[in-house]
Amino acid sequence: MYIINKLLLFSFLFVGLIARAQGVIETFDYAHLTSTDKVGEHCQLTFSVGSGKSNPTLLSTSHAVSFYLGNRLTIKSHSNKCITKVVLHAAESGQSYNVGQFASSTGYFKQEEQAWIGQSRQMDLVNISLEVLKISRIEVHLADVAPKQITTIRFAESAYDIFEGDALPSPILEGVNAADAVGKLAFVSGNKNVLDFDADGTKAMPISTGETKLTVIYLGDERHAPCMSSCWIRCWKDVREVSSIRDFNVLADEINVSRLVLNAAEVVQVTANSAFISDGTGCLALRFSHHPGLQAGDVLTGTVLGRFIRNSYPALLVENNAINHLQIEHKSVSSPQEVDCTKLTLGNCVYGHQVNVIAKVTNHKKHSVQLKVNGYDLKIDDILKTKLVLPKEDACLGLTGLFYSYEEGTIFFTPLNRYGLSREMVLDEYKSENPVYSTSSTTVVVKRKLKAGRWNSICLPIAMNKIDLQRAFGNHTLVAFSSVSGNKLLFKSVDRLDTGVPYLLKTNNDIASWTLPNVSIDAPKASKITHEGVSFCGTYNVKELVSDGTEQFLRENKLFIPAKNKRVMPGLRAYFKFPSAAGAKQFDFVIDEASPIVLPNFEEHSEDGDVWFTLDGKAISPQHRQRGHVYVRRNKKFIVR
């Protein structure tokens, strides 16, 4: 505080005190003077060579000072008055010099035609004309120091966190423009054993972890009063930096403070004192002592400081509720991404939408429901008291919320709101096994790609009537295997798709997926239709076809047989099965007894038709294969280069 008081006292002396005297005019007439430099009652004149080649000279013959190019005249007040106006008179004409012949080094004066008007204790004039100026008389007007303009300085926050490499927070100065404030800010550390820096606030360096007060002083000038402000600085030395939410969750350090780096983490839900954020690697709750001041959809980039805590799901207890190291971008809330909670890293938590969760009612009286996903038990922990409504009968569900596991073999689900459960089933052609369970009033999403203008085989565990087909596919043709006549495979058009029955479907547009609301499913098995020993077989799951030529599938309006080793075919399709390879001769493909479409002789299944698997058995489409990853194809492992 002693240093701060000294600085304030200096600033007041620097800008001067407010006097109550009248304005005066002090005149220096070189007709009666014998030297260039003069000291008057209120001010003094000093002539210097400046950047010129000759010194200013007093000529007795002309009673004027010869002021050469580059010469400098300094006028300084040595009383409590300020210089307010300066007029220079020419010896030849007795008139005032035009100010355009001089350069003024101070910004406190404005130029009039034959004078400088302003307020300062000092001004400097330099001859910039190309002639020798002969000054016979100098008038200096002085007046009381005008009351200084009030200024204020403050910090945007009351406290800040400083790490190694961080700059000090910038104060907000009001009442003076930025140019006048340059070089007039002084910074003082309350404890240099915690935080040290240069007097101008640069080269900040945390010395140790701790807290200290930072004071900034605006020193003021002739026109602006000094002011000061303070804030608290929390210095952090040797704090561990964690690069992702997943790493923070798995580390689970409840003792030490960590600095979590967020890269476009999205706020997915906000409660009274928490903001749930997800960065693609994991999810956690930022915990505050008050409302976080964030909203769902906000995107956070930067760092946040805190300790790990676990309240069922993982959380970060934000140090001092501070988020000033985060950039916040306001965006609309995005749809939750589909997740596979069975692939969770132990200790981690993810936010998203889990499909195909099987709910089995174990006790109707107690309303007990057992949840399973891909064979794993799933437990609901409704710690946020969302009052999630569970089904009263067996169902297939979609769950949206937090999924986490900190015990081997146990997965927990915490809904973030009461809408975290829906009756939903997703059928995916690239999943090794599609769940088919008896359920009612369920929304079904079918992920089966259909190529426009080609015959696509299809077999679904759900029924679609004429209206459903039209809504999903637009203009289309759906045909069923009706008979075999000689070398003709006969198909007839139908206007309904029944559960478990294989069909051929042609659409006018490419289809990626479609959704059917309010569907009831009786869990039928995929069936086959057989005529004259030729079977058209449906499958919901990825299917391995034998390579002996008896099993073929339709692709690009052609029949293909597996080549060399066993091959796989994506699910939600159908394939042809012949009694023997010899019987699999060339067939004509006939729709509604129209002109036959000749199917070519059997061709080896091209590489594009392969279905590859990840090491954990999940079928993967060609566009999703990644360089450097290992996949299984034809029961062998391959690395994608």
Three-state SS across 456-519? EEECCCCCECHHHHHHHHCCEEEEEEEEEECCEEEEEECCCECCCCCEEEEECCCECCEEEEEE
Assess contact for 273 and 289: CB atoms under 8 A.
yes
Provide the CATH number for the domain formed by 152-235 in this structure: 2.60.40.1080
Percent with pLDDT over 90 in the chain: 59
Chosen CATH of 23-143 out of 1.20.140, 1.10.12, 1.10.150, 2.60.120: 2.60.120
Q: Give the tens place of pLDDT for each residue, 449-482.
A: 999 999 999 999 999 999 999 999 999 999 999 9
- What mean pLDDT is predicted for residues 100-114? 80
- What mean pLDDT is predicted for residues 6-19? 43
Ranges of CATH 2.60.120 domains, the chain: 23-143
Residue 106 has what pLDDT? 63
Q: Give the tens place of pLDDT for each residue, 226-261.
A: 999 999 999 988 899 999 999 999 999 999 999 999
Which residues lie closer than 8 Å to 319 by C-beta, 6 or more apart? Answer: 161, 234, 257, 305, 306, 307
pLDDT band at 19 (very low <50, low <70, confident <90, very high): very low
Residue 375 DSSP SS3: coil
List, in sequence order, every residue forming a beta bridge with 477; answer none if it has no partner. Answer: 506
Q: Give the tens place of pLDDT for each residue, 390-446.
A: 898 999 999 999 999 988 888 999 999 999 999 999 999 998 888 888 888 999 999
Look at residues 534, 622, 538 and name the one whose alpha carbon lies nearest to residue 585: 534
Segment of 319-333, 496-510, 616-630 carrying the highest mean pLDDT:
496-510
Taking every pair of C-alpha atoms in the chain, what is the biggest distance, in angstroms? 137
- What mean pLDDT is predicted for residues 505-513? 96
Residue 55 has what pLDDT? 92
Ranges of CATH 2.40.50.200 domains, the chain: 240-330
Q: Give the tens place of pLDDT for each residue, 569-588.
A: 899 999 999 887 655 566 77
Dist CA 216 CA 225 (whole Å): 14
Assess contact for 205 and 189: CB atoms under 8 A.
no
CA atoms within 13 A on the CB side of 113: 2
List, in sequence order, every residue forming a beta bridge with 261; answer none if it has no partner. Answer: 303
- The structure's pTM equals 0.65
**Range 341-428 classified under CATH 2.40.50.110:** yes
* Amino acid code (one letter) for 176: V
Q: Give the tens place of pLDDT for each residue, 56-77.
A: 999 878 789 999 999 999 999 9
Cα–Cα–Cα angle for 629, 635, 636, nearest 5°? 50
CA atoms within 13 A on the CB side of 157: 15
Ranges of CATH 2.60.40.1080 domains, the chain: 152-235
Chosen CATH of 240-330 out of 2.90.10.10, 2.40.50.200, 1.10.10.10, 1.10.3720.10: 2.40.50.200
Look at residues 268, 312, 272, 310 and name the one whose alpha carbon lies nearest to residue 288: 272
582 vs 380: which has the higher pLDDT: 380
